Amino acid sequence: MPPTTRRIPRPTAQRLSLYSRELQVLIGQGRETLSSRELGEKLGVSSAQVRKDLSWIGQSRQTHEAGRSGIGYDCGALYESIRRVVGTNRRWATALVGVGNIGRALLGYGGFVDEGFPIVAVLDCDERLAGKRIGGFVVDPMSSLRKVVQKHHVTIGILAVPRSSAQIVAKQLCDAGIQGILNFAPMKISVSEGVSVANIDLSVALEQLSLDISLDSKRRPSGEDKE
Amino acid sequence: MPPTTRRIPRPTAQRLSLYSRELQVLIGQGRETLSSRELGEKLGVSSAQVRKDLSWIGQSRQTHEAGRSGIGYDCGALYESIRRVVGTNRRWATALVGVGNIGRALLGYGGFVDEGFPIVAVLDCDERLAGKRIGGFVVDPMSSLRKVVQKHHVTIGILAVPRSSAQIVAKQLCDAGIQGILNFAPMKISVSEGVSVANIDLSVALEQLSLDISLDSKRRPSGEDKE
């Protein structure tokens, strides 16, 4: 990884992530080159902004080759350069903690492997589940967490435990040397400095929809009263 | 629903949603009253802001009774008042479209019923799946969408189809009279005016983690190269 990528501002990096998604689709459609204008239009970003963002990548050798004035960027080379910066060209081993409803659903979801975030170990706070086989994994007890993280080079913890134990488990993950947490518990968790958190909260999303529909004055809510 | 709730600003409504979550926990712990200061401290909001937000609810009869100066708010009454405004005291029937990895995982996830958003019908774009039994449901073809929505009073569509068909299905859901879409497809969908969208994007969350870990200059990325 070239040292220049270390200074990329967060908003730029997030746009790079969106660009890579568009590029993936275009490459799948057989496209070979792309202008900053077209890429910007697809995402509602000005072409000047696109060029500025891509200049961050242009500082590394690979995309210097990818940016050709006149005919636009080489889709494949640009895609690979961005993936290198965003880290999606890597494989990040993940450990799932919690085999309740959400945990079991995630074990059945193939997307983690496809996206490069394979689940390599499964743990649960309930000691009685240790040794049981669930979704193709033998469940490890939390007392084995540090050993599991080291053995499988786990970088990311998937937190799928109830709200009541989320903070405790988050701390255990941090202490075990995890670098990022994908948090499915419906609460904000505190983590050690340098540990990243991404939240996926179905309840919040559902509540947002419920709120939007309830507040919309243009129609009567059609939900039925529970009480 | 009192007409006053219709004018609540979005940021206020979103904070109300957070308050109700805290109240639910406190009530579970046996708490009966709560001050605006304590509620604010739990969420990093000033007590003045909390009182201002709750005054929106205070305009409806129920929480007028709930707000007692001196001893704070009655937790139970406040919780119910907020739920009435946010719409979470209702039952919102949902229809799942797409029985791939994500769709099947969602069918196995009990949270929708618990949160008041039961899945009442399952559809898929693949006509060959029509009539098949998956996760306790008989899959309906998309040609039956409008009939299904009307018959089961479906308010919310759960979009769990691949990116390539997400926009087409989103339009079909809007045309069938859906009021909100919970979108699991990794893209921004366009919907009819008045239809609400909440996005759940696992890929974006995973990429954010990958990005954070890759950009963090304090340590070497430990992900392994895929190539």
Average pLDDT across each block of 10 residues of chain B; the chain has 227 residues. List them in order: 55 84 90 91 88 76 46 89 87 95 82 87 96 95 97 96 92 97 88 91 83 66 49
Question: Using one digit for the tens of pLDDT, what is the confidence trace for B78-98?
Answer: 999 999 888 888 899 999 999
Q: What is the pLDDT of residue A187?
A: 78
Q: How far apart are the first and last CA of chain A?
A: 58
Angstrom distance (rounded) from CA A197 to CA A204: 16
Instruction: State both tokens at B197.
Output: 């969208």
User: What are the structure tokens assigned to B163, written together?
Assistant: 């990116």
Per-residue pLDDT at B27: 94
Supply the pLDDT for residue B221: 45
Q: Is A28 on the interface with B (CB under 8 A)?
A: no
Q: For residues A182 and A160, what is the distance between their CA atoms, to the nearest angstrom?
A: 9
Contacts of B214 in chain A (CB under 8 A): 1, 5, 85-87, 90
Report the residue from A110, A156, A214 with minimal CB separation from B209: A156
Contact with chain A for residue B110, Cβ under 8 A: yes
Is B85 near chain A, with CB under 8 Å? yes
Contact criterion met (CB < 8 Å) for B17 and A212: no
Burial of A9 per CB tally in 10 Å (0-12, 13-18, 19+)? exposed
- Supply A93's token pair: 């081993």
**Contact A69/B at CB under 8 A:** no
The answer to whether the CB atoms of A210 and B186 lie below 8 A apart is no
- Architecture of the CATH domain B3-85: Orthogonal Bundle (1.10)
pLDDT of residue A23: 92
Q: Which residues of B touch A155 (CB under 8 A)?
A: 213, 222-223
A208 part of contact set with chain B, CB < 8 Å? yes
Helix axes B47-58, B36-43, angle to 10 degrees: 120
Contact state of B109 with A115 under an 8 Å Cβ cutoff: no
Q: How close A187 gets to chain B, by Cα (Å)?
A: 9
- The one-character DSSP state at A70 is T
Q: How far is B69 from chain A (nearest CA, A)?
A: 28
DSSP class of A196: E
How is B60-72 classified by DSSP, letter by letter?
SHHHHHHEETTTE
DSSP letter for A223, please: P
* DSSP classification of residue A60: S
Question: Domain spans of chain B?
Answer: 3-85, 94-205
**Inter-residue contact B96 to B158 (CB < 8 Å):** yes
Domain at A94-205: CATH code: 3.40.50.720
Instruction: Give the per-residue pLDDT at B141.
Output: 97
Q: How far is A11 from chain B (nearest CA, A)?
A: 11
Distance CA A197, CA B208 (A): 9
- In the predicted model, residues of chain A with pLDDT beneath 50 are 1-5, 59-65, 217-222, 227
- Residues whose CB falls within 8 Å of the CB of residue B184, separated by 6 or more in sequence, listed in order: B98, B102, B106, B158, B159, B160, B200, B201, B202
Contacts of B67 (CB under 8 A, 6+ apart): B54, B58, B73, B78
Q: Is residue B3 helix, strand or coil?
A: helix
Give the other-Cβ count within 10 Å of A52's Cβ. 14
Using a CB–CB cutoff of 8 Å, tell me whether A198 touches chain B.
yes
Best of A207, A216, A222, A227 to mutate (most B CBs within 10 Å, chain B): A207
pLDDT at B196 (0 to 100): 92
- Residues of chain A contacting B189 with CB distance shorter than 8 Å: none
Residue A174 CB contacts under 8 Å (≥ 6 apart), including other chains: A191, A192, A195
DSSP string, B120-189: EEEEES-GGGTT-EETTEEPEEGGGHHHHHHHHT--EEEE-S-HHHHHHHHHHHHHTT--EEEE-SSS--
Full-model pTM: 0.72
- For residue A217, the model assigns a pLDDT of 44
Q: State the ipTM, two decimals.
A: 0.76
User: Residue B11 is encoded by which pair of tokens?
Assistant: 């940021």
pLDDT confidence of residue A220 = 46
